[in-house]
Amino acid sequence: MINCEPCWRKSLTDELASWRGTPWAVGGQAKGVGADCVGFITGVLVNLGHLPQGSRVSFSDSEDRVNYQFGRLRELTRLWRGESVDTYPAAGDIVVARTPSGTGHVLIVGGCGIRWWNSTNAIGVQFVTAQSVEGSQSTVAHVIRVEGREKWKRQ
């Protein structure tokens, strides 16, 4: 068993695991009900007390949400209260990747830094490894370091 101390990392690991198996749903943000990649990460940050209850990401239904979220990176960084960093992703970081088709996708790095969690339309919420992200020919385009992680506690 990997020791995920400090405490905020265990809270993050437990919260991510509690979302596992949530189906994918465009615009969704509900654990066990449905979430897309942006809604999943926003829901996790709400449940860890990083964002206020009721925080939502809203996008126009008429837009291609995946391309839209990639284009609105600055807005998402502000929403998630983070900053752009030029470093390899660490526990709690949000990774923005560009897929081979050119669309954007977001993942969050788990508490021990080994598993990256995401929500895809094929499977829903699951964990992947950094190697499998690289093996899919997706490229890390941006890393968001979320502020105040040391205060995260599961609600």
Query: Which pLDDT tens digit goes with each residue over 67-85?
Result: 555 556 666 777 777 888 8
**CA atoms in the 13 A half-sphere facing the CB of 12:** 32
pLDDT at 61: 43
Backbone angles phi, psi at 126, to 5 degrees: -155, 170
Per-residue pLDDT tens digits for 21-52:
999 998 888 999 999 888 898 899 889 888 87
pLDDT at 115: 81
pLDDT at 116: 83
- Average pLDDT of the residues of the chain: 77
- Report d(CA 138, CA 149) in Å as an integer: 26
- Report d(CA 31, CA 140) in Å as an integer: 26
pLDDT at 60: 46
Whether pLDDT at 57 is above 80 = no
Whether pLDDT at 134 is above 70 = no
Q: Which residues pair with 134 in a beta bridge?
A: none
- What domains can be seen in the chain, in order of their start residue? 7-150 (3.90.1720.10)
CA neighbor of 26 nearest in space, from 78, 64, 71: 64
Name the percent of the chain lying above pLDDT 70: 73
Whether pLDDT at 66 is above 60 = no
What pTM did the predictor assign? 0.80
